[in-house]
Amino acid sequence: MSEPLSLPALSRRGLLRGLFLGLGALATPAWMGRARAQGGAALSLPVGPLAGIGPVQRVTLTGGALPGVDDGVNAPEGFSVRCVARQGVNPLSGTAQGYLWNIDPDGGAVFPSAADGGWVYVSNSEDTPGGVGALRFDAAGNLVDAYPILEGTRNNCAGGATPWGTWLSCEETGNGEVWECDPFGAPADAVKKPALGAFPHEAAAIDPLNHVCYLTEDGGSQRFWRFVTTASDQTLLPNGVTRLALENGQLQVLQIEGFERGVTPPPEALREAQRVSWVNVFRLPSLPLLPQQLPTLTSAGTQFPGGEGIWYYEVPEALRQTPTQGTVPTRGVMFFATKGDNRVYAYDIENQLLELIFDNENMQVEVGFDDVDNVTVSPAGDVLVAEDGNRMRLYVIVPNQPAKLLMQITAGSGEITGPAFTPDGSRLYFSQQRGPSSVDGSGARGSTYEMIIPPEFRSLVLATPTPSSSPSPTASPTTAPTATASPTATATAPPTATPTTGPAPTVTPPVTPTPNVPQAPVPASTPAPTLTPTPLTATPTPTAVPGALITVPVNEGGGAVGAAAAAALGAAAAARSIVGDAP
């Protein structure tokens, strides 16, 4: 049983690390053990149902196998795997005629179809020419269509699913750009977003409260970017989601005092939260005769080498704390990783504070992962981490316990990319970027697979705490519910399960915001104005009733995890204990 949560005993840094662990941490960090030894309390986090899986073993593909070709897939007993697409092959006919699947498949996401209960899996192509391919499944899981939604682009690496149901595909090249794609559309529907800059884009994540797009950069100036939209860029949709056109606003880079103009701070400088500012960056105008923009370069801002995955998390109201250096409780946190120095940062949006929460030098992660890349979360709250390395493993992260190996490919070499779940958690899609390809399997430019998750590993049952009276806002809770996996439970997702393409928070119509940035040009070295959050109703935290099965809204794809993810399960349960409200 996990230890009770005690907010006064939990440091801000411990809370941030705990939230990150619940969303996509790499392993159980050493600080948890130290905290217990020192009498502190760790954040109680749920254990998802995949924590109960057994050891992996070689499996025979249930579909898509090629004669004499060893895909080398290993999975736990009871988990079946089929190959749904291979590079250079028509996914429907199995021939080399018609639409052929992506070369070097990379970042991906699942988008549900309200029309027929099916879904679409999209996958980037990390090559030039690149693009994005789509596999369309019906409600029974049959592959019924395959088609491109983006073509003729360059080195499409990761990206991010938006709360309004589109896919942002990022070009990782010197003057790469971001393309917004319709998962159910065609290449002609894709729209380039020049306002987001031209640099080696890696991934993107949307802050739905402040209407800002955050971006990581893998190369180039190696900065941490954001695009602050203006009121004219925002449209409130009928479902309550604010859609961003990503065309009108200001591009900015993060700057830490003392580490300006391309300096990377040493880890010890950021082990406590530091106040940051944002510097406006102005793009060179697009030239009509050039097919792409000139590179967006800047000497301003702090350097973050090798930007990778990024994901947004909204702290549940009951867990919000005002940091020592801050003025308001932490609400929105943007986590991002840098592979150049193996770090993970947490950016407190409301207080403009940046903190290093994991780094190798501090030995906070003690596990032999081989270049962590994609991170995704199942609807039941299981956190999965894929490796960008030849060990080709896909792990389930279990808080306070060793990680569990869910899948490994032991044939060939390459990397695991694009893990993404269907809304009901019944299927997991992923690719081996150098897997057997071509009609006869003689190639090695990518295979895409579907894993069937057994019903007993799809849903999480949360224990319901004993009702208690509501304590004062400053009172310390004495108990926190324990989240347990239920291997024997009948696990079916509710018909209204939230799509995996991103949270659709319930909002009230926003007050028309004052533009967050000046419209007149200012020098690139001028600090940007402080971002003022738009007043919005907070995203509701998932709640539970006795014996109810919980599914969690998930924003998958390219490492972009939305506001409701694994940590929300533990936070929701903790919130009930703290506040004393009925769900």
- Rounded-to-integer distance, Cα 108 and Cα 26, Å: 20
pTM of the model: 0.72
What are the residue ranges spanned by the domains of the chain? 7-535+548-579
- Rounded-to-integer distance, Cα 157 and Cα 170, Å: 6
β-partners of residue 81 are: 451
Which residue in 445, 502, 383 sits closest to 106, CA to CA? 445
Which residue in 176, 144, 143, 183 sits closest to 157, CA to CA? 176
- Rounded-to-integer distance, Cα 329 and Cα 367, Å: 33
List per-residue pLDDT tens for the chain, 583 residues long: 333 333 334 456 666 666 655 543 333 333 233 323 332 222 234 467 998 999 999 999 999 999 999 999 999 999 999 999 999 999 999 999 999 999 999 988 999 999 999 999 999 999 999 999 999 999 999 999 999 999 999 999 989 889 999 999 999 999 999 999 999 999 999 999 999 999 999 989 899 999 999 999 998 899 999 999 999 999 999 999 999 999 999 999 999 988 988 888 888 888 888 899 999 998 776 666 677 788 898 999 999 998 887 878 777 787 788 888 889 988 888 888 787 887 778 889 999 999 887 665 654 334 455 565 666 778 876 767 777 667 888 888 664 456 789 999 999 888 898 889 998 999 999 999 999 999 999 999 999 999 999 999 997 544 333 343 333 333 333 333 333 333 333 333 333 333 333 333 333 333 333 333 333 333 333 444 445 443 333 333 332 222 222 222 223 333 333 333 333 323 332 322 222 222 2
Say if strands 191-192 and 201-207 run parallel, antiparallel, or are unpaired: unpaired
- Rounded-to-integer distance, Cα 209 and Cα 508, Å: 11
For 89-109, b/e burial (b = at least 16 CB within 10 A) is bbbbeeeeeeebbbbbbbbbb
- Rounded-to-integer distance, Cα 306 and Cα 221, Å: 10
If one counts every other C-beta atom within 10 angstroms of the C-beta of residue 218, the result is 24
- Rounded-to-integer distance, Cα 222 and Cα 339, Å: 11
Does domain 7-535+548-579 fall under CATH 2.120.10.30? My reply is yes
Which residue in 98, 73, 102 sits closest to 85, CA to CA? 102
- Rounded-to-integer distance, Cα 23 and Cα 3, Å: 19
* Coil/strand/helix, residue 146: strand
Say if strands 224-229 and 249-256 run parallel, antiparallel, or are unpaired: antiparallel
Cis peptide bond prior to 465, omega within 30° of 0:
no
Q: Using an 8 Å Cβ cutoff, are 558 and 40 in contact?
A: no
Which residue in 62, 63, 61, 86 sits closest to 73, CA to CA? 61
Going along 126-210, which residue ranges are E strands? 130-137, 143-153, 156-161, 167-171, 178-181, 191-192, 201-207
* Coil/strand/helix, residue 216: strand
Q: Using an 8 Å Cβ cutoff, are 472 and 488 in contact?
A: no
What is the separation, in whole angstroms, between the first and last Cα of the chain?
23
Q: What are phi and psi of 512, to 5 degrees?
A: -60, 120
DSSP 284-308: PPPPTT-SSPPP---S-S---TTEE
